[in-house]
Structure 1
C-alpha cells in the first residue's frame, strides 16, 4: 500500500478517537415518505434524488408483476414498483408491493427499505445481490429480513424473501418484476434513486448493530481475593479447543498472540494436579499475578503450569507469592510455557467493568457508557454489548470491548485501562481495525460507517488486539460504503482515503452472536 501510516497520535486525531463515540440517529424519512405517497411520487422523486449523488453506479427501476401460488393455485396477485442502485461494492434497494387475494379481498401493501447488501455478484447484465432489509406493512416492521435480488439480462428482476423470516407470508417462491425500458440503464445523470434516499439508507444500512452477548465467567485468585474473568482466545490450538470444551463457549485459536512482546504479558498459574476444583485443568482455580489497577495488569496471560510434587500435601494457593513460596520450598514445580491466552477481567477485588445504566440496546446505541449489561457471579455469566462490524471479506462479525492501552480511550468506552498491551501496537500480535472518522453516517465508533477488520477468526493473523487505524475520506462528499479490506486498500492507494495508526490498542474479541 502506498498510503502512509503514522505511528504517532496527532493531537487532532487524539481529540477524535478519545471522544465519547456518540452515535447519531439517522433518518429514513425521505425514502419511507416516498413509499407512503405512492408509486407516482416515488418515481417522480427518484430522478431528483440521484442527480445529486454523483456515484458511477448502475440504477434500474421497474414494476412488480407476479402471482403467488399456493398448492398450485393463485393465492395472491402482486404488483408495485421497485428501484435498485448497485455498484461493484454497494447496493441500495426500495420497493412497494401491493397484494390482493385472488378473490379480490384482503388488499394490503408492503414496503421494502433499508437494504443492507452483504454480497454482490455481477456478470454482464446479470446481478445477484444478497443482504437484509426492513419489510413494513400497516405500520409494523420486520427488520433484518434476508433478501436476494436477481436481475436477469437487464429485463427481469426477482425477489427472494426468506419465508422463515415472515412466516411464509410471501410464499415459498419468488416475486417477479419487469425492468423499465423508459430510462437508460445507467442513470447517474438521470438522477434516480437517492441523494437522500441512497445516502440516508447508508446511514442506517445495518440492522442488529448492537446485540447482547452472554459469556461464561471463570473464577480465579489474585493476592488472596476472588476474581472473575472470561476466556476468548488462545495462542495454542489444543488449549483453545480445551478451553472451549471447559467453558462451553468458543475460545478462538489466535496464533498471532504468540508474537505478543514479553512486556505486554502478565502471568497466570494453572494447576495440573492437587486439590480438585473448577480450574481449567480440573483442579483449583488459576492464580493471576495482578488485577486491573495494578501497573503490571494485562488481559494477556502467559500460562505457567503448577504441579504438586509427590509426597507433598496440596492446599489451595491464592496468590502468586504463595505459589512462588511453595516452589522455593520444593512443594510444587512451575513449568513456564510459551502459551498465551486472552482472559480479560470482568470483576475483581474493589472493582468491575462498567455496567451500562441504559440496558436497552438499539441500532443507534452509543459506544460509551460501559460495555457490559450485567454481571452475575451467582450464575457465572456476564452479558456484553456485541457490536457489529465487517470481516476482511465483507461478512458480518460481532465483537465486544474489554480494555484499551490508552486511558482516555478506556474511559470513553467504559473499559479497563491496560497500558501493557500498548507494547503490541507495532507487532504481529495486533491486527488492523479501520475506524471511519467521516463520510457515510452510521453505526461505527465515530458515528460513521461500521468498522472493517483486517483479519477474522480462523485467519493466522487474527488477534483480539486491534490496532486502530483512523480512516478519513479526503472528500467526505464522495464517500462510499466500504465493507472489505481490499476496498479500503484500493481507496487508500488512489488517494481517496488517508489512514493513520491512532496509537491505541483496543482489546475487542470477536464473539458468536
Structure 2
C-alpha cells in the first residue's frame, strides 16, 4: 500500500453543457472531437478546462430518502455497454471473486406513472464528501508530509454495482450526495473533481475535472473517482474506498480471474512546469497545484493541468488497441505500479517522460527503474478507479515496444 511505499521512498452555478456541433480538436485546447471519445455518452470534453461533462443519474442512499447522483462509465456486457454508450470492460465480471462486497447489490425503483425515463437506483453504501481534502507536500513534493482524503466511502460503498437479478457489473461512481445546493468549490457534498452539477429534470449533467496521461505512445484522457489507499485518494482527488484493495487480485493484470489492469506512476521523475520531460507524483505535487481545491474559479490550477501538470501516468490496455485481446483486457480498476528511477538514471538525466507500458518494463529489465527505495518493481498494493474517456490526437493502437516479460516462442 502507498504508506509502505512512502516509507520506502522516504444545483451549482455551473452550466450544463451541450455537445458542440463543430467541435474544435486541438492539442492545445478547445473542445475535443467526439470521434476521440471512448465513452460516447459523454456530452463534452473541454481541453481548456480539463473537464468532461457527463449525463447524470439519480439514486437513493440506504435510508431510502437521501438522493445520490452518479455517472456510468463501463459495463461488463458488450451489448449493454454499447446500449449505454460506455466503455466495454469484461474484466469487471470478475470483480466479486473473493470479494463479494467489491460489487454493490442494488435495486431499481420505478414510478407507477413513469411513461418514459430512467428508474432510480437504490444503493446500499454511499460516500461521505464532508471531510476536508488536505495535502501537505514533502521537501521534494512527494512523499507528502500529510494527506487526508476529501471523500470516504462507507463500509458498503463500491462504485461497481450489480442490479438485483442481473449478472452485469457497471462502473457507477457517486459524485454528489444530497438535495443541494451543491458545493463545487470546496466539495463538502460533491466529489473533489466535480466542477459543476445540474440536477434539474431535463438537464441532469455533471462536469468533472479530468486527467491527462499516456497509453501506447499516445496522450489519453481519463477520470479518477476512487482509490483504495488514502494518500493515493488525495493525490487523485478521489474517494477513499479501502474495500477495493480486496478486488481480484494484487498483481493480477491479465491473468485468470483478474479485474485489474496496470497503471504506471513514478515517484522521482523530472519536475518543472515548462519541462517537456516532467512526470510523476513529485511533479504533480510541485507543479500541478495539488494542494488546492479544484474549481472553475481556480484558473491557475486549470492552466497548470492543461500544461501537463498532472502526474502523466502511463496505462496498460486501452479500448482502442488494434489487438482485440488487449482491447478487451481493458479495466477501469488500475493496479498501481509505482516506479523509482535509480540514482544512476537520475544522475545521467535518464528519468525522462515515458508514454508506453512495454518501454517502461524494458527500463525495469535494464535496471534503470525499481520499486520505491530500490525494492523489486511490481504491484504497489493499491488500486485506482480510472475510467478512460478518450485520446487527444491519435488513438492508441499498439504498444511501442515488445513486452520483455512475454513468453518467448
State whether structure 2 residue 291 is matched by structure 1 residue 429: no
Structure 2 vs 1, CA of residues 411 and 388 (structure 1 numbering), >3 Å: closer, same or farther? closer
3-state SS of 2:328 partner: coil
3-state SS of 1:388 partner: strand
Structure 2 vs 1, CA of residues 396 and 356 (structure 1 numbering), >3 Å: closer, same or farther? farther
Correspondence list, 1:467-478, <5 A:
467-474=335-342, 475-476=345-346, 477-478=349-350
Q: Select 2:108's aligned residue among 270, 274, 283.
A: 270
3-state SS of 2:208 partner: strand
Structure 2 vs 1, CA of residues 353 and 265 (structure 1 numbering), >3 Å: closer, same or farther? farther
3-state SS of 2:168 partner: strand
1:110-169 deviation line (CA, Å, top 9, x unaligned): xxxxxxxxxxxxxxxxxxxxxx98xxxxxxxxx479xxxxxxxxxxxxxxxxxxxxxxxx
3-state SS of 1:338 partner: coil
State whether structure 2 residue 283 is matched by structure 1 residue 447: yes
Q: Is the 8 A contact 1:263 1:423 kept in 2?
A: no
Q: Is the 8 A contact 2:270 2:280 kept in 1?
A: no
Q: Is the 8 A contact 1:346 1:353 kept in 2?
A: no
Correspondence list, 1:26-425, <5 A:
143=28, 211-222=50-61, 223-225=63-65, 226-244=67-85, 251-261=86-96, 262-270=100-108, 275-276=113-114, 282=117, 284-292=119-127, 293-304=153-164, 335=165, 337-349=166-178, 355-356=184-185, 370-378=192-200, 379-391=203-215, 393-424=216-247, 425=249
Structure 2 vs 1, CA of residues 478 and 497 (structure 1 numbering), >3 Å: closer, same or farther? same
3-state SS of 1:455 partner: coil
Unmatched 5+ stretches in structure 1: 1-7, 18-131, 134-142, 146-207, 245-250, 305-334, 359-368
Compare CA radii of gyration and give the structure with the larger one: 1
Q: Select 1:438's aligned residue among 264, 268, 271.
A: 268
Q: Is the 8 A contact 1:235 1:255 kept in 2?
A: yes
d(CA) in 2 for partners of 1:272, 1:356: 33
| Deviation for aligned residue 1:445 | 4.1
| Deviation for aligned residue 1:349 | 3.6
1:262-305 deviation line (CA, Å, top 9, x unaligned): 23111122368955267xxx45322222211431110000122x
- Equivalenced residues, count: 270
d(CA) in 2 for partners of 1:289, 1:416: 17
1:326-369 deviation line (CA, Å, top 9, x unaligned): xxxxxxxxx2x2210000001124899984459xxxxxxxxxx9
Structure 2 vs 1, CA of residues 353 and 273 (structure 1 numbering), >3 Å: closer, same or farther? closer
d(CA) in 2 for partners of 1:403, 1:351: 22
Q: Which residue of 2 aligns with 1:308?
A: none
Structure 2 vs 1, CA of residues 512 and 259 (structure 1 numbering), >3 Å: closer, same or farther? same
Q: Does 370-379 or 382-391 show the bigger shift?
A: 370-379
The answer to which structure, 1 or 2, has the higher relative contact order (CA under 8 A, 6+ apart) is 2
Q: Is the 8 A contact 1:302 1:338 kept in 2?
A: yes
- Normalised by the size of structure 2, how large is the TM-score? 0.59
1:211-259 deviation line (CA, Å, top 9, x unaligned): 1111110012222222110000000011112222xxxxxx100001111
Which structure has more strand as a fraction of its residues? Answer: 1
d(CA) in 2 for partners of 1:464, 1:14: 27
Q: Is the 8 A contact 1:210 1:388 kept in 2?
A: no
1:7-55 deviation line (CA, Å, top 9, x unaligned): x5563436869xxxxxxxxxxxxxxxxxxxxxxxxxxxxxxxxxxxxxx
Q: Is the 8 A contact 1:277 1:284 kept in 2?
A: no
Q: Which residue of 2 aligns with 1:501?
A: 379
Structure 2 vs 1, CA of residues 444 and 215 (structure 1 numbering), >3 Å: closer, same or farther? farther
Unmatched 5+ stretches in structure 2: 11-25, 31-46, 128-152, 253-257, 272-277, 285-310, 321-326, 371-376, 392-409
d(CA) in 1 for partners of 2:328, 2:95: 14
Structure 2 vs 1, CA of residues 482 and 294 (structure 1 numbering), >3 Å: closer, same or farther? closer
| Deviation for aligned residue 1:382 | 1.2
Q: Is the 8 A contact 2:2 2:231 kept in 1?
A: no
